[in-house]
Amino acid sequence: MLSYRHSFHAGNFADIIKHIVLVESLGHLVKKETPFDYIDSHAGAGLFDFTHEHSVKLGEHHRGIGKLRAEDWPELAAYFKILSSYNKDQDAGEELRFYPGSPLIASHFMRGYDNAWLYELHPTDFDLLVKNTNSDKRMHVMKEDGLKGILAHVPPVSRRAFVLMDPSYEIKSDYENVVASIHAAYKKFPQGVYALWYPVIDRARVLKLEQRFIDSGMKDIQRFELGLLADGVVRGMTSSGMIVVNPHWGLFDKMSQLLPKLVETLGEDGAFFKCDVLVDE
Ligand SMILES: C[S@@+](CC[C@H](N)C(=O)[O-])C[C@H]1O[C@@H](n2cnc3c(N)ncnc32)[C@H](O)[C@@H]1O
**What integer is the mean pLDDT of 40-57?**
96
CB–CB of 40/144 below 8 Å?
no
Q: Please calculate the CA angle 33-195-247 and round it to the nearest 5 degrees.
A: 60
**What integer is the mean pLDDT of 125-149?**
96
Band the pLDDT of 174: cuts 50, 70, 90: very high
CA-CA distance, 184 to 248, in Å (whole number)? 21
- The answer on pLDDT for 90 being more than 80 is no
CB–CB of 265/204 below 8 Å?
no
Domain positions in the chain: 6-279
pLDDT recorded at residue 269? 87
| Amino acid present at 138 | R
Q: Between the CA of residue 187 and those of 11, 173, 190, 255, 267, what are the distances in Å?
A: 34, 21, 6, 27, 38
pTM: 0.97
Catalytic residue among 127, 166, 202, 276: 166
Q: Which residues line ligand 1 (CB under 6 A)?
A: 2, 4, 6, 18, 42-44, 101-102, 119-122, 125, 145-147, 166-168
- The answer on pLDDT for 2 being more than 90 is no
Q: What ligand 1 atom has the least distance to the C-alpha of 44?
A: 27
pLDDT recorded at residue 95? 83
Second-level CATH architecture of 6-279: 3-Layer(aba) Sandwich (3.40)
**What integer is the mean pLDDT of 134-140?**
92
